[in-house]
């Protein structure tokens, strides 16, 4: 494999840095149940992780009248926020982020969360000062549109070839392709290896330790 060199490392949040896949999936299923809708399977509910909330709920409950989506969104937030305080970063993530920052990389986040949701998730002393820029789905186009990556690259003056997107879903990898950026897939989140491989990431890793090793070898 040809050695890569990056200046900007962009992370997805849920399922990539934070171990929140089960909480999001369960909240989507419970919200559909609250409204008397067909409850999507775990696979169907986890597929939409990474999309903006409105897009995610439309995929999860395609037969719901448009006017009722705010009710579904409110039910989702109720269930998700009930678990919010229990969610943690994947083991090794904090050490990885600090090591990358110390090595001089620019770090960013591109997430399907809202700005309020990301601010809540990042409100931890150990995360302060680690990220140079962030984008959320309620500020610009949702994944897999390339806008989040385009905006981050412009803000941090980094070309696509020197940027890498790291994520656990096909939405992350497709966004990177749409932005002409390389991508690294992580299989420990919402989408499995079989779903990620067809999008041809430069690497597909199965743990935070493997991710750290790949980045160390390609700095």
Q: Does residue 73 sit in the same domain as residue 100?
A: no
- 156 class by beta-carbon count within 10 Å (0-12 exposed, 13-18 middle, 19+ buried): middle
Q: Which of 84, 119, 135 is the last residue of a domain?
A: 84
Q: Does residue 93 sit in the same domain as residue 121?
A: yes
Candidate list 12, 19, 168, 172, residue with the active-site label: 12
d(CA 21, CA 83): 12
Q: Is the pTM of this model over 0.85?
A: yes
d(CA 127, CA 120): 12
Candidate list 7, 14, 55, 192, residue with the active-site label: 14
The DSSP symbol for 15 reads: T
| Geometric angle at alpha carbon 59, from 52 and 21, rounded to 5° | 60
- Does the CA dihedral 106-210-196-26 come out positive or negative? negative
d(CA 164, CA 202): 9
Mean pLDDT, the chain cut into blocks of 10 residues (219 residues total): 77 95 91 92 86 84 89 91 86 96 96 92 92 96 96 98 96 97 95 94 96 89
12 is catalytic: yes
Q: Which of 84, 108, 125 is the last residue of a domain?
A: 84
């Amino acid at each position: 494999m040809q050695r890569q060199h990056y200046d900007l490392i962009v992370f997805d949040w849920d399922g990539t840095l934070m171990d929140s896949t089960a909480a999001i999936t369960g909240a989507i299923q419970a919200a559909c149940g609250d409204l008397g809708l067909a409850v999507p399977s775990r696979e169907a509910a986890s597929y939409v992780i990474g999309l903006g909330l409105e897009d995610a709920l439309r995929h999860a409950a395609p037969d719901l009248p448009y006017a009722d989506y705010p009710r579904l969104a409110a039910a989702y937030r109720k269930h998700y926020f009930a678990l919010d305080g229990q969610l943690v970063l994947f083991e090794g993530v904090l050490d990885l982020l600090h090591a990358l920052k110390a090595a001089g990389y620019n770090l960013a986040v591109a997430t399907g969360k809202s700005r309020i949701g990301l601010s809540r998730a990042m409100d931890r002393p150990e995360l302060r000062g680690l990220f140079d820029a962030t984008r959320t789905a309620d500020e610009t186009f949702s994944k897999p549109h390339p806008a989040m990556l385009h905006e981050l690259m412009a803000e941090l003056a980094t070309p696509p070839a020197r940027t890498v997107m790291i994520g656990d879903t096909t939405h992350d990898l497709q966004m990177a392709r749409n932005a002409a950026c390389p991508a690294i897939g992580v299989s420990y989140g919402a989408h499995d290896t079989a779903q990620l491989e067809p999008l041809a990431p430069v690497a597909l890793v199965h743990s935070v330790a493997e991710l750290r090793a790949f980045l160390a070898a390609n700095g």
